[in-house]
Amino acid sequence: MGKIKTARVITIGDEIITGKIVDTNAFHISRFLLNRGYRVNSIVSIGDIPSAIRSAVRKALAESDIVIVTGGLGPTHDDITKKILCEVFKCKTCFSPSVYRYIESYFKKRGVAVPDVCRDYAEIPTEATAVKNPPGAAPALLFQKRLLALPGVPHEVSEILEKYGNRVIPRAGFTAERTIHTAGAGEAGLMRRMTSLDAAREIADIAFLPKRGRVDLRIIARGETAPAANGKRRKAEKFLKEGIEELVWGYDGDSIESVVGGLLAKAGKTVAVAESCTGGGIGSAITDISGSSNYFLGGIIAYSNRAKQAELGVSPYLLRKHGAVSREVASAMAEGARKKFNSDYGLSATGIAGPTGGTKEKPVGLIYIALAGPEGVSSKELKLTRSRPINRERTVFQALHLLHTVLKEKR
């Protein structure tokens, strides 16, 4: 396709740059622009400073095909966006009877007259067209089909874009997206394994998105038609996966628990869990998936050594010799869960979640996971962080990923 059209998002308001609110508008606007085929070249947040707004708008118009501005269209003293846009586009405002009638109907539905300060909503710049704001009183303003000014209220932004965005922002092309979920290597490790990364980058935008203990690969392919964009996306995905196929565990909205559940159901296999440091987190994740009763038989939260012995049959000798946080005890717990519930697989976790309880030999973040199955027992040592929530979250993922690896090999 030809030159990709660009767009810029400008969000205005002191409450944004001081961190008093989260700027959700930029997210929704960027997603809208991406779906219309634009590449957002930057997102700019600025306070209620006339010179800064004026400079940002002029720069955006010079460097982008489309600009969307949000905030500063209200009736208060700091709502100065419309005035500054009139300066930039060298125009004045003119009272619009039709817009005023809409404003009247908006307030009439609420049983009140139009406040004097809101009469200004009907003053429309001569270089702009008013765009209806279904949930609000202040209309959006489209300047010369280049710049769309939106109110700052998030639900108003979303609804204006949903109902009228496609009418006022011309389509620049089509996009096709794909997220590939991987685990087992960091960014550098993935890049070393990939044999055709450069080829993928020639036909699509590729992003590496590190998460806790895993990396997502984001593909955005563009084309003049939807089929063309999808074709590029499929080709880029094929290139990206060359050399890392064994590290891929899911796509797009997949979760590790949904993928593992699907593999268990398809294979007709069952699983039970034995948990210490995760406190039931693995079982909770598995049972978050509808239909998990078909493959999840149950679990034991064995926090104390006594519980490990009584409920899972862990040998007192193992506990004395190796300690509760050990590869040996994790393996025994997994075998105990499998035996207790008569399941095909037993999955376990034991460790020091923190932030206290660690020693020099066994520091906070040392965790062992194990999987017992028909083929025997496999285990893994994890060396994580000092954060209890992060350690528990990552352990749940790693335990399920261990099960995923075995199930994937059996397909």
**Residue 97 to residue 63: CA distance in whole angstroms:** 35
What local confidence, expressed as pLDDT, does residue 308 receive?
98
Encoded tokens for 153: 């209220």
- Fold category of 256-410 in CATH: Maf protein (3.90.950)
CA separation for the pair 101, 122 (Å, rounded): 9
User: Contact, 226 vs 176, CB < 8 A?
Assistant: yes
In the chain, domain spans: 6-168, 174-251, 256-410
- The pLDDT-based confidence of 213 (bands split at 50, 70, 90) is confident
User: What count of Cα atoms within 13 Å lies in the side-chain half-sphere of residue 15?
Assistant: 13
In this structure, the number of other CB atoms found within 10 A of the CB of residue 153 comes to 19
Kindly tell me the burial class for residue 128, based on how many C-beta atoms sit within 10 Å of its own C-beta (0-12, 13-18, 19 or more).
buried
Separation CA 106–CA 136 (nearest Å): 8
CA distance 119 to 113: 11
**pLDDT tier at 244 (50, 70, 90 boundaries)?**
very high
**Contact by Cβ (8 Å): 115, 75:** yes
pLDDT reported for residue 75: 83
User: Cβ atoms within 10 A of the Cβ of 122, count?
Assistant: 23
In whole angstroms, what is the distance from residue 342 CA to residue 272 CA? 8
CB 332 within 8 A of CB 351: no
Measured between its terminal Cα atoms, the distance across the chain in Å is 40
Chain-wide mean pLDDT for the chain?
96
Q: Which residues contact 187 (CB under 8 A, 6 or more apart)?
A: 208, 210, 215
- The answer to whether residue 363 scores a pLDDT higher than 80 is yes
Tokens matching residue 133: 């704001």
Nearest Cα neighbor of 263 from 370, 398, 406 is 406
DSSP at 294: G
- Residue-wise pLDDT tens digits, 302-360: 999 999 999 999 999 999 999 999 999 999 999 999 999 999 999 999 999 999 999 99
245-256: average pLDDT: 97
pLDDT at 411: 76
CA–CA dist 231, 364 (Å, integer)? 48
Tens digits of residue pLDDT in 5-59? 999 999 999 999 999 999 999 999 999 999 999 999 999 999 999 999 999 999 9
Residue of 8, 24, 133 whose CA lies nearest to 74: 133
- Which helix (H) or strand (E) covers residue 230, if one does? helix 226-241
Contacts of 65 by beta carbon, 8 Å cutoff, 6+ apart: 5, 6, 7, 38, 146, 172
Token digits of residue 81: 């966006």
* Architecture in CATH of 6-168: 3-Layer(aba) Sandwich (3.40)
- The better pLDDT of the pair 75, 92 is held by 92
The mean per-residue pLDDT over the stretch 239-261 comes to 97
Question: Is the preceding peptide bond at 134 cis, omega within 30 degrees of 0?
Answer: no
User: CA gyration radius for the chain?
Assistant: 28
CATH hierarchy code of domain 174-251: 3.30.70.2860
For 51-70, what is the mean pLDDT?
98
Please tell me the distance from the alpha carbon of residue 173 to that of residue 115, in angstroms, as a whole number: 43
The predicted structure's pLDDT at residue 76: 79
Crossing angle for the helix pair 256-267 and 388-410, to the nearest 10 degrees: 30
368 within 8 A of 329, measured Cβ to Cβ: yes
pLDDT > 90 fraction of the chain, expressed in percent and rounded: 96
- Does 3 have pLDDT greater than 90? no
Instruction: Decide if 374 contacts 344 (C-beta within 8 A).
Output: yes
Q: pLDDT band for position 1 (50/70/90)?
A: low
Tokens of 364: 């906070």
